[in-house]
Amino acid sequence: MNDATIRGPRALRIALVRPPVLQLRVSLSAYGAILPIGLAYVAAVLRDAGHLLQVIDAPGEAMAAAHDIESPIGPLQMSGLTPAQIVERLDPATQVLGITHMFLHEWPTIREIATRAKAAIPGLVVVLGGENATSYWPWIFRETDVVDHCVLGEGERTMAALCERLAAGEPVAGLPGVASRGTHTELAPRATVLDRAEARDAFDAEDRDATAPRPGAARDTAPAGAGSARDATAGAAGTAPLEAPLASAPTLSRRSTDLGALPRPAWEYFPVERYMAHADNHGVNRGRSMPLLSTRGCPYRCTFCSSPDMWTTKYVTRAPREVVDEIKDYIARYRIDNVNFCDLTAIVRRDWIVEFCRLLAAEVPHLTWQLPTGTRTEVLDEEVVALLHATGCRNITYAPENGSERMLKIIRKNVLLPRMLGSLRAAHKAGLVTRVNIIIGHPKEEWQDIRKSWAFLVKAAWTGCDDAAVMIFAPYPGSADFRELLAAGKVEMGEDYHYLALARSGFSSRTYNPVMGTRQLIVTQYLLLLAFYGTAYLSRPWRFVHVLASLFTGRETTQLDQLLRTKLQQRRKARDGGEGARAGGAPRGGEPAEPRTQAV
């Protein structure tokens, strides 16, 4: 059993850490340091509970610093404070260290931070939370004993409850939403993942949110929750042998249904100005930007996605009034020009978006906003896209993921492609800059499906779509595809597996498809992009001139503009990074490099 409990006063000294950002320079992905909204939400709840907080935001506190590190997939660029620098900054009196663990590729770095911190501060309790902590915890506990607890799924209330127990010296075992070393280590990973998926199905069915679309509502396909919830995972993992009793799996905490009751992200702990100056935006750079969430969860169950395991299929929306008030607050506090929504799937309900746009038009007339994540597009008809544009929406990402109806059924995406093309056409006509996301190399994909994705991309470009992202399939922990491949013995959990997500758009990608080799997939990825951008520029040659001009003017409109700018930024960092690193990451925006601590 894990006895990592603390006896002491109710208020704890808690350090929250965001690890440095890792990037593969040769990849087609240019995402850098974005304000960590999940951690900022957790910080707000812990602040309100009266704990003494120190936040160490590794990329935020050393924006200029970049180090090359070795990895099994080749050299990676690490931006921000190194693990050693993070631990040097930790208050030696820290009792609980909470690290946000969103991406699989962060695990080796987080392992190093936790190992160093445990060695430096005896008795420290290490807690991880986030998307990857939620799905990868069995392997984390197997691999190391420096992590004590993993908070699964939505984190605010669970972390507050966990800290309450730690402060009271009570055992954490049995707390819903927490997997603990010792208590859960003996479970075989395959079994625990299966247990949790099944538990989540039952949980979803019993506690579905009223806001999720109902059968017959405007959508392309029934979300998993509207029909059979269980079969989504049964097909994937149902054949996996159980290696431990069901009762031993960690249980879930209840999802928040009233998001208005949660405090807003505690941005006062983060160097917001430096993020703004660096402009590593999630969307394209349209000025001073903040991330925002209008919903949580997603009612669908695509087989390649870890969202159902993380958030269940419960879809909860915030009131449009609250979202607009938050935007107005950011305008007052940070003089923002733009908002990037990082919702999993922002627009599912037409009445919601119409009300949101009405409020924006009346109260925030000069803002731009973007939906860069890849939203559902069922309600994006001519009328809605015109409304979006009129209220400042400029960039929107469509996520068909595949151009073949056969594959869409297999991955449970089941969007209607002709309808999506119609929506893309309408969006282009309305003046929106659009992007489509395609995944290639799913284990069940055939070459005929790739040809259909190729045709879809050409059609999308022809209708006026501006950008395309073509990514190679990667089985993320927590997804149904991962469970199925694991059960079939096709996922090797070696050290290079950790870097899978970064490699999916680089030369070190790997194939999980029996008929498509790795090299074939990489070549296919480039050919599909060539087909898309070739069609886009041949049909509208002036666009090419705009892309080149954006390099000099810095005025971005498309994702390609953003990719080119951030790749150049990465190169500059690599050149000057040593200096930034030695200086401990000299701040750009005039904010102190010191971590912030708030007195109780």
Give the binding site for ligand B12 (CB under 6 A): 21-23, 29, 31, 34, 36-39, 41-42, 98-100, 102-104, 127, 129-132, 151, 154-156, 159, 282, 293, 305-307, 310, 342, 344, 373, 471, 476-477, 501-502, 504-505
Task: Using CB under 6 A, pick the residue from 103, 136, 141, 300 that binds ligand SF4.
Answer: 300
For ligand B12, give the closer residue by CB, 17 or 465.
17
For ligand B12, give the closer residue by CB, 64 or 371.
371
345 binds ligand SF4 (CB under 6 A): yes
Closest CA to 330 of 362, 371, 289, 363: 289
268 φ, ψ (degrees, to nearest 5):
-65, -20
Burial of 122 (0-12, 13-18, 19+ CB in 10 A): exposed
Task: Using CB under 6 A, pick the residue from 63, 302, 380, 474 that binds ligand SF4.
Answer: 302
- Distance between CA atoms of residues 478 and 304, nearest Å: 9
Q: CA of 365: how far to CAs of 285, 326, 358, in Å?
A: 19, 15, 10
295 binds ligand SF4 (CB under 6 A): no
Task: Using CB under 6 A, pick the residue from 65, 344, 388, 503 that binds ligand SF4.
Answer: 344
Residue 505 contact partner, candidates ligand SF4, ligand B12, none, CB within 5 to 8 A by sort of partner: ligand B12
- Distance between CA atoms of residues 80 and 61, nearest Å: 7
Task: Using CB under 6 A, pick the residue from 233, 253, 307, 397 that binds ligand SF4.
Answer: 307
Burial of 591 (0-12, 13-18, 19+ CB in 10 A): middle
In the complex, least distance from residue 413 CB atom to ligand SF4, rounded to whole angstroms: 6
In the complex, least distance from residue 300 CB atom to ligand SF4, rounded to whole angstroms: 4
Closest CA to 166 of 145, 187, 149, 147: 149
For ligand B12, give the closer residue by CB, 513 or 562.
562
For ligand B12, give the closer residue by CB, 146 or 426.
146
The identity of residue 294, as a single letter, is S
DSSP string, 492-537: --SGGGGGHHHHTTSTT-----SSS-HHHHHHHHHHHHHHHHHHHH
34 binds ligand SF4 (CB under 6 A): no
Residue 302 contact partner, candidates ligand SF4, ligand B12, none, CB within 5 to 8 A by sort of partner: ligand SF4
Token pair listed for 87: 């631990």
Kindly provide the b/e burial profile for residues 360-399, where b requires at least 16 CB atoms within 10 angstroms of the residue's own CB.
Answer: beeebeebbbbbbbbbbbbbbbeebbbbbbebbbbbbbbb
In the complex, least distance from residue 254 CB atom to ligand B12, rounded to whole angstroms: 12
Q: What is the 3-state secondary structure (H, E, C) of 254-266?
A: CCCCCHHHCCCCC
- Distance between CA atoms of residues 67 and 579, nearest Å: 10
Residue 109 contact partner, candidates ligand SF4, ligand B12, none, CB within 5 to 8 A by sort of partner: none
Residue 28 contact partner, candidates ligand SF4, ligand B12, none, CB within 5 to 8 A by sort of partner: none
For ligand B12, give the closer residue by CB, 464 or 580.
580
Residue 375 bridge partners (DSSP):
398
The rounded radius of gyration (Å) of the Cα atoms in the chain is: 23
In the complex, least distance from residue 310 CB atom to ligand B12, rounded to whole angstroms: 5
275 binds ligand SF4 (CB under 6 A): no
270 binds ligand SF4 (CB under 6 A): no
In the complex, least distance from residue 491 CB atom to ligand SF4, rounded to whole angstroms: 19
In the complex, least distance from residue 376 CB atom to ligand SF4, rounded to whole angstroms: 6
* Residue found by looking up tokens 């299929």 in the block: 313
For ligand B12, give the closer residue by CB, 154 or 466.
154
Residue 26 CB coordination number (10 Å): 14
452 φ, ψ (degrees, to nearest 5):
-70, -35
Binding residues for ligand SF4 restricted to 440-469, rule: CB under 6 A: none
Residue 300 contact partner, candidates ligand B12, ligand SF4, none, CB within 5 to 8 A by sort of partner: ligand SF4
- Residues of the shown chain interacting with ligand SF4 in the complex, contacts defined by CB under 6 A: 298, 300-302, 305, 307, 344-345, 376
